[in-house]
Structure 1
Amino acid sequence: MAVSSAIVGGGPWPRQWEGGKGGAWAQCSSDRRGGGRAVGGWLKLEGAMSDTAADLSEGNKLASVSMEAEPSMLVDIPDALSEREKVKFTVHTKTTLPSFKKSDFSVIRQHEDFVWLHDALVENEDYAGIIIPPAPAKPDFDVAREKMQKLGEGEGSMTKEEFNKMKQELESEYLAVFKKTVSIHEVFLQRLAVHTVLGKDHNFHVFLEYDQDVRHFSFFYSMEVPET
């Protein structure tokens, strides 16, 4: 799965990238050896505070968590965008299951939606004895953010070359954390998708297909009057 990312400065940390406003591009690359996938990145920084957008769709190959599972449903996260304290994940699904309205679709989800899905699975008594994959960790960019702030405060005491070098190092560090965040959320969904029982769960399908807030959907679903 190839990854291209833009880290854009200016304003509070972070806000959405708007192209065509100057700044220099620098190419970086790394390996996600755990999944055997090459990663190429593009960085753009205009200030000490940065925004991040990751486009993971180029040359996308869906990773299969289980080689034994039939490919009736493939789930991946081809795009992700960091906005201030939140990360918005584009969750893409390709399926042949008749329970879905479409065979290829995408929705936007935040970390809290992943936690909602995990908790719904854990609380379902029908899944007693089934090992539910752990919920992905909450995105944490505090360390990288603090380093960027300190770098900005100390810019006057450095040469231009020293500042640019440290800035590039911090960009790479932040991008690595961002990629890891996307990866662990993607793997969580892929483990559910290939599970013979959890892959058919109603809440999981709502998470993948419902194009609005799934927690909002859950509230109204629970308010339905049961049949008598």
Structure 2
Amino acid sequence: MADNKEPPPLFDNVDIDKNEEMLDDDDEDIFASAIMEQNPLSNSYNGVSSVQAELPKLSLHDVPESNSYSTLTSPVASSEPINSPLGNLTNDNTDLQEVPINNDDKSISNIKESDSLEEVPTETTDILLKITVTEPQKMGDGMGAYMAYTVKTKTNMPIFKKRVFSVSRRFSDFLGLHDKLVEKYLRSGRIIPPAPEKSVIGMTKIKMSGDKNQEQNSSSTEFVERRRAALERYLNRTALHPVLGVDPDFREFLEAEMDLPRASRTSALSGAGMMRLFNKVGETVNKITYKMDESDSWFEEKTLQIDSLDTQLRSLHGAVEALTYQRRELANCTGATAKSIAVLGHGEVGVSLGRALAQLAETLEKVEVVNRAQSNCDLYQFGEMLRDYVSLIAAIKDVFHERVKVYQIWQHAQMMLNKKRELRARMEQAGRGDKTSQAAIEVIEWESKVERGQEEFDNISQMIKKEIERFEVLRVDDFKKQLIEYLETMLQHQNQLVKHWESFLPEARAVA
């Protein structure tokens, strides 16, 4: 790891306005650690199976070290049997033991539910918030069917009514939660973790899948597992945030036992969905045509870094997806070869040669299993991590664009103030006393709007810097840990392949 280089920031998702639903170049070292004086955060941002979010002070910078999340997803448990594509690679979903809370600490219970909430001060050193998404179940039949997930939470935070609880949520509930957080916090400069994007094709396969088509069911199973894992990562990223993690809407999502109001705005084919599509087109045009005169070199440098990192990660993600596909094809071809050799061994007259062929077929079957496990590892441990970071970069771009929009409002107010002042001057020169007083009132109103616009622009700029600083520390530490885990797993698979072929070597020599 090139620890001496300053890394570009990370994260992404597609353009999101605060009333919209999230849809989904340089050669800098993306693995370099951030040059900061803060202790690196070891809370991983890509946890899937069991995630332990430790927020000691729930502040923006002071987060203690803890075990990183694993990107390997847990097996799918469902009333309708869905086999996890990870096979034996999934981690054990072990329970966390609750840590006693200091009863003298009342700071968390006094959290203000306001948008300006900066930090949650507390003397408690072990705050746990573990969220898992399990048991995806298909509800209903035909095109009216949908997937429901069980969201299980384990915590010792006093702001929650219970220590362990679970609720059932459908996919639109997750998107509805994301919309609420975007509406409340994006304008203030908060980076909102991206929710998984909608997939009309994937859900159509789920709705139309049946027991007769095994290939289609296998594809649907992988789609469900990937979405389940992405939803779990989304909730745990949100829980790690010192402000979003204690938001009343987020707490209601986790512990309200009744069904949440239907988030109709999340439907892609609804009227609201079409309006969001038109708004996104307008936002895209605005991003292209409007260039802000940037006076802060920090934002100029970060914008270039983010664009470069976005290009690098998208390229790497495409390469990993190709690697996953090729390794799966290798596993399929290896399995087909094993079957053919087994048939050939049965028809062989020579006993020693027949036994060797049978042994070779058995070895190839073991190799097929290892290759398939490695392809799952490529996808879930490395590929999904890269996909998440591409989405996080989009979320960063969204908040940067929100700053540009605040700047536009401020400059528009300044332009209108200049016009009102010119109008007042003309009225005074013309001796129109009745019009002069009205123009003076309008000047005062626009002066107030200019002041508010400048204050809002300064506040969002300052907040974005804090958010980027926090995410850089999280990203560098998490990316290193996940990459090391991926490489260790790859070495284990290669060692297994060596052992399989070494066990076959004596049989091959006996034939020779």
Measure how far apart 1:28 and its partner are.
Answer: 5.9
Give secondary structure in 1 for the equivalent of 2:89.
strand
Instruction: Give deviations 1:72-119, integer Å, cap 9, x for gaps.
Output: 211111221112421111000000100111100000011121112111
Instruction: Give deviations 1:113-135, integer Å, cap 9, x for gaps.
Output: 11121111111158711110122
Give the structure 2 partner of residue 213 of structure 1: 259
Measure how far apart 1:181 and its partner are.
Answer: 1.6
Give the structure 2 partner of residue 99 of structure 1: 159
Give the structure 2 partner of residue 31 of structure 1: 86
Residue 142 of structure 1 pairs with residue 214 of structure 2: no
The equivalences for 1:1-150 within 5 A come to 1=49, 2-4=74-76, 17=80, 30-31=85-86, 38-39=89-90, 59-61=92-94, 71-83=127-139, 84=141, 85-125=145-185, 128-138=188-198, 140-143=202-205
Higher relative contact order (CA 8 A, sep 6+): 2
Distance 2:165 2:187 in 1: 27
CA gap of 1:177–1:70, structure 2 versus 1, over 3 A, is: farther
Task: Show structure 1 runs of 5+ residues with no match.
Answer: 7-15, 18-24, 40-57, 63-68, 153-166, 217-228
Give secondary structure in 1 for the equivalent of 2:131.
strand
Give secondary structure in 2 for the equivalent of 1:74.
strand
Give secondary structure in 2 for the equivalent of 1:124.
helix
Residue 191 of structure 1 pairs with residue 237 of structure 2: yes
CA gap of 1:188–1:126, structure 2 versus 1, over 3 A, is: closer
Give the structure 1 partner of residue 435 of structure 2: none
Matched-pair contact (CA < 8 Å) for 1:116–1:215 = no
Matched-pair contact (CA < 8 Å) for 1:144–1:173 = no
| Partner AA of 2:75 in structure 1 | V
Distance 1:112 1:28 in 2: 24
Task: Show structure 2 runs of 5+ residues with no match.
Answer: 1-48, 50-73, 96-124, 263-512
Give the structure 1 partner of residue 221 of structure 2: 175
Q: Tell me the TM-score normalised to structure 2 length.
A: 0.27
CA gap of 1:30–1:145, structure 2 versus 1, over 3 A, is: same
CA gap of 1:209–1:170, structure 2 versus 1, over 3 A, is: same
Distance 1:179 1:143 in 2: 14
Matched-pair contact (CA < 8 Å) for 2:137–2:147 = yes
Give secondary structure in 1 for the equivalent of 2:138.
strand
Instruction: Give deviations 1:38-77, integer Å, cap 9, x for gaps.
Output: 24xxxxxxxxxxxxxxxxxx94258xxxxxx965211111
CA gap of 1:72–1:30, structure 2 versus 1, over 3 A, is: same
Measure how far apart 1:143 and its partner are.
Answer: 4.1
Distance 1:105 1:97 in 2: 13
| Residues paired across the two proteins, number | 155
| Partner AA of 2:227 in structure 1 | T
**Identity level (%):** 31
Matched-pair contact (CA < 8 Å) for 1:133–1:188 = yes
More helix by percentage? 2
Give secondary structure in 1 for the equivalent of 2:241.
coil
Matched-pair contact (CA < 8 Å) for 2:75–2:84 = no
Instruction: Name the Cα RMSD after superposition.
Output: 3.3
More strand by percentage? 1
Q: Which has the greater radius of gyration?
A: 2
Measure how far apart 1:5 and its partner are.
Answer: 5.2
Matched-pair contact (CA < 8 Å) for 2:77–2:134 = no
CA gap of 1:111–1:199, structure 2 versus 1, over 3 A, is: same
Give secondary structure in 1 for the equivalent of 2:196.
coil
| Partner AA of 1:122 in structure 2 | V
